[in-house]
Chain A
C-alpha cells in the first residue's frame, strides 16, 4: 500500500520561500502524477499543482508565479517550493497521488510568521 509523508519546516518568515518534501513509500514515484494541496485553518481545500514522473508540471493559475514542484526519482520524493510567502499561505499542506488524489499524506502545518 502506497504511503506518503510530508516533511519540512513548520515555520517560515514572510517573504521567504516555503519548502516541503513528500516521501513516497510502498510504490515507485516513476508512475502517475503527484500533487500538492493546501488547506488554510478552518477553510477548504486548494489544489496547488502537480508533477508528472516525466517531469512536466501543472500549476494552479493564481499560484503559478510563486510555485515550483519537482521530483527526485532517486529518493522517491517530490517537493514543493512556494516563494514570497505571506500570512495567507499559512495552511496544512498535503501531498497526494495522481489526479484522483486517491492517496494522501497526513499533512504538514506551515505557519508564516515573523
Chain B
C-alpha cells in the first residue's frame, strides 16, 4: 500500500476541468509534488512546492492543498493530458519521499 492515497482512475471531458486528489498525513507538513507519466516514458514534474510549475509546463496545471489533501487541477483539459498522475511528498520524518499509487486520467 502507498503512504499517499489517490483515486485509481478519473475521467474528464475534453476542455473541461478536472481535479486529482492525494491524501496523507505527510501532507499536513509537506507540500505535494505532481508528476505526469505517459506510457513508456519517464515521469515529468508538473507541479512542485506550494504551486509552482517548472519551465515548459502549461499554466492549465495548478496545485493546491488543504489539511491532509493536495490537489492537482487541470483547467481546459487537452487530449494530450491523458496520462497517469502521481503525487509525492516528504514523509513525516522529512527524510524520505513517499508516493501515491497514481491516478489514470482519461480524457473523453
Contacts and interface: CB of A to CB of B under 8 A. Distances in A.
A14 interface: no
A58 interface: yes
Interface string B9-25: 00000000000000000
Interface residues of A, number: 20
Interface of A: 35, 44-47, 49-50, 58-61, 94, 99-102, 104-107
Contacts, number: 50
B98 interface: yes
A105 B97 contact: no
A101 B33 CA distance: 9
A56 to B, nearest CB: 10
A101 B45 contact: yes
Size class of the contact patch on chain B: 20 to 34
Interface of B: 2, 33, 35, 42-45, 48-49, 54, 86, 88, 90, 95-102
Contacts of B101: 44
A45 B86 contact: yes
Contacts of A105: 42
Contacts of A60: 96-97
